[in-house]
Every structure is written in structure tokens, then in C-alpha cells.
């Protein structure tokens, strides 16, 4: 049976910004205009965490700008309104509790309970097929670093790691019962390997019939494409479905700085071109093995999205195929998300929530990401400006 495809244009501003009213659109325009000033974003990355710690009166400004743009609210109850709006706009959600890097067992247990609460909430909604989980929300960073370096753990540390693993498995078991997917976010390279190993072990148990658990592959790392191919091979050999979320990566400066300070080769590609090549090859590889891979194309790169569409057309893979979805961050690249959705593709907005102080690291990464890709913010600004002008012209016609 043949599948009919329509060419997707990311320039359709009416579709791209249908989710936003006139007031929101103007607010976003000015926020992106400020973020397009690279020096200001760079300065804010260092200043905002400091002024928050000093309790200076900036929370209201942050809440009304960065936080409102990139987060759904402080609590799960707060996020429900945003989730409903996205549902009305035909958009799916990856729900994320944006707390990370904590250090106590009490906080880890609270975070685990919150993830489980997210799953039961998502199960009641029609547009929340996934939640996102960070292992640094369930285990100490120092413990993960020690495991990654293959250092011998003390008896207490072994017990601590077992508790962390049990937390993730409890989350996955709950997700299986409620038919919700769990996407485990990638972390820094020096704590990633124990996460990779445990997630793969759980996949072999819980991804037998469908992909419940997803591993995140940061393709700006020089070793991730080979790892992805190895994991696909393991899935084929062992009869389970690999859940693969493909991203470029979020810790570029930190990775390069640490490598330089400690005198080891940088684990990330030297150029964006090399990253793009690996990312696009990862898409092609996954498309060749959709019987064994369920993939999330999580990117703000238009070329990678168009490549995926082209491959799906060539292979007669329907836009709504259950093993292919796209994802962009809430507050970014609406011109990609809503135009893909308009043409029948499965699209999820990654929607974080949490107390403002706790999501500052996430907000700083988003602001930096918006300025790190050459021309991306400028393109969004142009499209927003076009949509504002289009709406004014429509009002004049009336």
C-alpha cells in the first residue's frame, strides 16, 4: 500500500505560531531579540545563578521571561494548563521534572515519587506519551563519576547505587503498567557509562513488545554513533526494541573545558559539520532498522528533519509510524514542530517544570543553545516578525 507524502515547509508562519496569541508573540519576539545578543546571553549564564543565590530581586523578571518561555510551571498542577493548550493545538508532550544535580537520598526519593506521579498524570491525558528522567535526579553525580571511572566502590556506595538503580526500575515498571514511555536524558561524558549500561539492561527486560524505555545519544560525542550501532545490533540479537532518542548535545563548552583542564582528548567533535554528519547518519541507520528501533528525532535542525522526511518517503514509512517521532524543546522552533504536526508527523514538545531555583541550569542551557547555532535565533526572529506583519495585514483586510 502506497503512502502519500506532502512536502513540509517550515516557513508557514500561520501554522507555526497558531499556538501563540498576539501578545505572546510580541513578548517572544523581544525575548529572542535580547537572546540574539550573544554577549548578553553569555553574561547572563554566569550572573543569574549568582544573583539567585544572593536573593537579589530578579526572580520576577526571570519568571516572566526565560522561565515563562521554556517551562510549563513550578508544579505538576501548574503545568496542566500548558499541557491542555498544547493538546488543543494538536501537540504531544515529553513531560520533564527539571530538577537535577541534588545530593541527598531524601531528595532522590522525592524525585522518584514525582516521576511516578508524572506517569499517572500522563496516563490520564491523551497527548503525553512520554516522560523524561535524569539519572542525576536519582543518584549523586560523584557516585556516577566513580562508577564511570571504574573505581572500586565501598560497601555503602554499592548499596547506594543499588538504591538508585531500583528507583529507575520502579519508574519503568510504573510506566509499563500505564503505557507511558520513559526517556532517560544524557548527562556529561564523565558520568554517562553506568547510565548507558543500566538503561540497556532494563531495555532487555521491559522493551520486549514495545519501546517503553529510551536511551539518549548525544551525537556531538565522537563515540556515540558507534555505540548506537552496537546497541541496535544488541537489540536485534536479543529480541528487544531499542528506544533511541537522538540529540546533538547540551554540554559542549563544559566538555571541552574539562578535557583541556585534565589533559585528555575532547570527547566531542571538533566541528559542527562533523556533529551534523554523525547525527544524520544516525537517523539513516535507525530508519533502516525500524523493526528493532523506536527513534525520537530530537533536533532543532531543519536539515535533519527534512532528511528524516525524505527517508520516510523513500521507504514508504507513514508519517504517523509508531517507531518515529520528532521532538523540539518547549519555547523553541515552533516553526518546525507545528508544521511537522500539520502534515501528520508525530511531534512532541519537551516540556519541563519545577521550582524556578531548581531549573536555572536548564534555563541557562536553553539560552545558550539558542545562541550557539549560527543563525537559528535570527531565523526564528524573522519568522515571528513575518507572522506579526501577516496578522496586522489580515486585520486591515477585515
Among 322, 268, 249, CA closest to 290: 322
Domain boundaries of the chain, sorted by first residue: 186-298
- Decide: residue 281, CB within 10 A, 0-12 exposed, 13-18 middle, 19+ buried: middle
Sequential DSSP letters for 83-99: HHHHHHTT-EEEEEE--
At residue 396, the pLDDT reads: 81
CB 351 within 8 A of CB 94: yes
Among 8, 9, 31, 6, CA closest to 20: 31
Residues 259-276, mean pLDDT to the nearest whole number: 97
pLDDT of residue 319 exceeding 70: yes
Q: CB-based contacts of 161: which residues, under 8 Å, 6+ apart?
A: 139, 143, 147, 153, 194
Instruction: Point out the least confidently predicted range of 127-136, 219-228, 257-266, 372-381.
Output: 372-381
pLDDT of residue 223 exceeding 90: yes
371 vs 263, higher pLDDT: 263
Structure confidence by residue, pLDDT tens digits, 27-52: 999 888 877 776 556 666 666 666 66
Stated pTM of the model = 0.93
pLDDT of residue 74 exceeding 60: yes
CB 44 within 8 A of CB 312: no
In the chain, pLDDT over 70 holds for what percent of residues? 89
128 vs 362, higher pLDDT: 128
Average pLDDT, the chain: 90
Residues 334-363, mean pLDDT to the nearest whole number: 90
> What gap in Å lies between CA 97 and CA 114, rounded to an integer?
8
Residues 347-351, mean pLDDT to the nearest whole number: 97
Residue 182 phi/psi, 5-degree rounding, is -120, 115
At residue 357, the pLDDT reads: 77
> What gap in Å lies between CA 194 and CA 145, rounded to an integer?
9
At residue 103, the pLDDT reads: 83
At residue 38, the pLDDT reads: 65
Instruction: Point out the least confidently predicted range of 41-45, 99-103, 181-185.
Output: 41-45
> What gap in Å lies between CA 257 and CA 354, rounded to an integer?
29
Among 367, 299, 372, CA closest to 337: 299
Structure confidence by residue, pLDDT tens digits, 355-390: 887 877 777 766 665 555 545 678 889 999 999 999
Amino acid at each position: 500500500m502506497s503512502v502519500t507524502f506532502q512536502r513540509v515547509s517550515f516557513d508557514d508562519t500561520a501554522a507555526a505560531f497558531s499556538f501563540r496569541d498576539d501578545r505572546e508573540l510580541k513578548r517572544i519576539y523581544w525575548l529572542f531579540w535580547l537572546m540574539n545578543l550573544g554577549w548578553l546571553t553569555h553574561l547572563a549564564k554566569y550572573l543569574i545563578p549568582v544573583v539567585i543565590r544572593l536573593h537579589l530581586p530578579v526572580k520576577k523578571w526571570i519568571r516572566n521571561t526565560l522561565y515563562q518561555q521554556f517551562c510549563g510551571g513550578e508544579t505538576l498542577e501548574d503545568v496542566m494548563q500548558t499541557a491542555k493548550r498544547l493538546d488543543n493545538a494538536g501537540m504531544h508532550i515529553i513531560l520533564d521534572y527539571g530538577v537535577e544535580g541534588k545530593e541527598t537520598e531524601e531528595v532522590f526519593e522525592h524525585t522518584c515519587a514525582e516521576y511516578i506521579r508524572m506517569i499517572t498524570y500522563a496516563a490520564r491525558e491523551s497527548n503525553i506519551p512520554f516522560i523524561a528522567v535524569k539519572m542525576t535526579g536519582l543518584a549523586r553525580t560523584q557516585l556516577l563519576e566513580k562508577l564511570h571511572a571504574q573505581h572500586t566502590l565501598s560497601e555503602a556506595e554499592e548499596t547506594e547505587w543499588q538504591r538508585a538503580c531500583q528507583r529507575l526500575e520502579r519508574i519503568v515498571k510504573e510506566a509499563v503498567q500505564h503505557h507511558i514511555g520513559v526517556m532517560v536524558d544524557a548527562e556529561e561524558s564523565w558520568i554517562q557509562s553506568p547510565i548507558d549500561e543500566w538503561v540497556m539492561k532494563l531495555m532487555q527486560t521491559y522493551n520486549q513488545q514495545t519501546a517503553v524505555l529510551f536511551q539518549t545519544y548525544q551525537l556531538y560525542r565522537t563515540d556515540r554513533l558507534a555505540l548506537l550501532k552496537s546497541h541496535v545490533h544488541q537489540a536485534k540479537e536479543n529480541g528487544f526494541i531499542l528506544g533511541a532518542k537522538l540529540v546533538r548535545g547540551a554540554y559542549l563548552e563544559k566538555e571541552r573545558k574539562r578535557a583541556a583542564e585534565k589533559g585528555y582528548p575532547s570527547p566531542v567533535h571538533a566541528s559542527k559539520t562533523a556533529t551534523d554528519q554523525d547525527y544524520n547518519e544516525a537517523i539513516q541507520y535507525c530508519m533502516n532498522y525500524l523493526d528493532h528501533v523506536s527513534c525520537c528525532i530530537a533536533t532543532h535542525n531543519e536539515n535533519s528533519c527534512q532528511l528524516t522526511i525524505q527517508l520516510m518517503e523513500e521507504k514508504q514509512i507513514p508519517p504517523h509510524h509508531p517507531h518515529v517521532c520528532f521532538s523540539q524543546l518547549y519555547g523553541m522552533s515552533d516553526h518546525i514542530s507545528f508544521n511537522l504536526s500539520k502534515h501528520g508527523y508525530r511531534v512532541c514538545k519537551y516540556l519541563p517544570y519545577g521550582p524556578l531555583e531548581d531549573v536555572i541550569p536548564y534555563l541557562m542551557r536553553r539560552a545558550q543553545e539558542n545562541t550557539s547555532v549560527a543563525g537559528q535565533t535570527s531565523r526564528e526572529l524573522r519568522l515571528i516578525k513575518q507572522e506579526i506583519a501577516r496578522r496586522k495585514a489580515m486585520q486591515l483586510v477585515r
